[in-house]
Amino acid sequence: TNDQLSKWDQDHFFHPSTALGAHSRGEAQGMIIKTAEGCHITDRDGNRMLDAFAGLYCVNIGYGRQEVAEAIAEQARELAYYHSYVGNGTEASITLAKMVAERAPEGLNRVFFGQGGSDANETNIKLVWYYNNILGRPQKKKIISRWRGYHGSGLMSGSLTGLSLFHKKFDLPLDTVRHTTAPYYYQREDASQSEAEFSAQCAADLEALIEKEGADTIAAFIAEPVIGTGGIVPPPEGYWEAIQKVLKKHDILLIADEVITGFGRLGTMFGSPKYDMDPDIITIAKGLTSAYAPLSGSIVHDRVFEVLARGTDENGPLGHGWTYSAHPIGAAAGVANLKLLDSLGLVQNAGEVGPYLTEQMRKAFEGHDHVGDIRGVGMMTALELVSDRDTRAGFDPEKKLVPQIAAAMAKRGVIARAMPQADIVGYSPPLCLTREEADTIVGVSVEAVAEVLG
């Protein structure tokens, strides 16, 4: 029964990103989801909800795709597991590596598979350190990320994450990590700045940090093409051009964390080409399998791989890997998922219905006293609320207004996400969203904001 499950849950299930005390006292019970199809999830009581967040920005192809379920079942029957150490592989893992390389930007041809986005970023930093050691510059170690960036919650990946919640009481960030200005144009300090001026300032801030630390101590810059968890923040005009100029000048590698933006979310297969980014490594996860099974990857550029390969010629095999690297079931899910992404035209749909959602949201909230900004790119939209539109000031965090709005939406059958450390409602639906479903999301958002803010 639900009561039984709730009790077991409260007594035994240690949840991620959860108020543990409240949960174990039964004050923060989440949903118990039973089935899902398309853009909808259904709980044990039969409540069907439109999931406007695709789980955690990950179910790109939508729920319930039998082709992927079959591929997983077949793989489990034929070969549930074999490892990928010392050059071993499976049909699924080898095929998926090729499919990823074919879809990745030019020059990014080698895929190291992991389990989730956090461990992929741990891998990336180890690869960058190894690379610099092979090049004979061991002092080039520090990694720069951005405030409001999200890169996971491991020791290194959590350090790279630029949200204080992920550092507080964990003794993070590690001492090799530095953070720089977020490209958060809406909340810029100087309201008179144009987007291009603000981008130039972000690049100048980055360069000042590099010069302060010493360029010969900085190994890499890691960033999402479009910030996700930190508030769904597309880069302002000219941002990536200005940033990459600084990185090239100081011989600093670029890691594009495309855990959210990879595999269609921005209406393009990857986010990097959309912004003319030329990354040395791309992090992938989520949309790689649409979360039908856990799998992540680090796609490494030929120019980096060449140095790593030279390193192993000189030093023996790379001392890095996971038992579940390239897990056959994840790989089989990935192959079936990428085929569906193509055959259903979902990348194109994301590029059409996503902007429609953002546009309809803008129309619906036009002139609203407490809606400061509505922004989006592809199938990602943010609704930023402010107490005062002139000052762009937020609300008292104690009031927990955005969680209240998300709850008011859930009551009406739509799941959106209260973004951490901000007054932002985030939307990142499956890429198969229809215009009618987008209209439902907008209508429910309007009703929920009216209920909470009047």
Least distance to ligand PLP from the beta carbon of 333, Å? 15
Measured from the CB atom, the residue of 154 and 372 that comes closer to ligand PLP is: 154
- Side chain identity at residue 198, one-letter code: F
Least distance to ligand PLP from the beta carbon of 286, Å? 7
Least distance to ligand PLP from the beta carbon of 240, Å? 16
Least distance to ligand PLP from the beta carbon of 282, Å? 11
Measured from the CB atom, the residue of 62 and 225 that comes closer to ligand PLP is: 225
Give, in order, the Cα–Cα distances in Å from 299 to each of 259, 285, 295, 302.
11, 11, 13, 10
How, if at all, do strands 296-301 and 33-37 pair? unpaired
Q: Which residues bind ligand PLP (CB under 6 A)?
A: 56, 116-118, 121, 150-152, 224, 228-229, 257, 259-260, 285
- Reading the block at residue 393, the tokens are 């000031």
Measured from the CB atom, the residue of 206 and 259 that comes closer to ligand PLP is: 259
Place of tokens 């729920």: 63
Asked if residue 116 lies in contact with residue 152, where contact means CB atoms within 8 angstroms, the answer is: yes
Asked if residue 202 lies in contact with residue 239, where contact means CB atoms within 8 angstroms, the answer is: yes
Least distance to ligand PLP from the beta carbon of 170, Å? 15
Give CA–CA dist 212/199, Å, rounded: 20
Residue nearest to ligand PLP (CB): 117
Measured from the CB atom, the residue of 56 and 407 that comes closer to ligand PLP is: 56
Least distance to ligand PLP from the beta carbon of 276, Å? 20
Going by C-alpha positions, the residue among 203, 118, 116, 205 that lies closest to residue 161 is: 118
Measured from the CB atom, the residue of 255 and 332 that comes closer to ligand PLP is: 255
Cα torsion angle, 191, 197, 202, 206, sign: negative
Measured from the CB atom, the residue of 116 and 267 that comes closer to ligand PLP is: 116
Least distance to ligand PLP from the beta carbon of 44, Å? 25
Measured from the CB atom, the residue of 121 and 181 that comes closer to ligand PLP is: 121
Give, in order, the Cα–Cα distances in Å from 175 to each of 141, 150, 221.
10, 18, 15
In DSSP terms, which residues pair with 299 in a beta bridge?
Answer: 111, 282
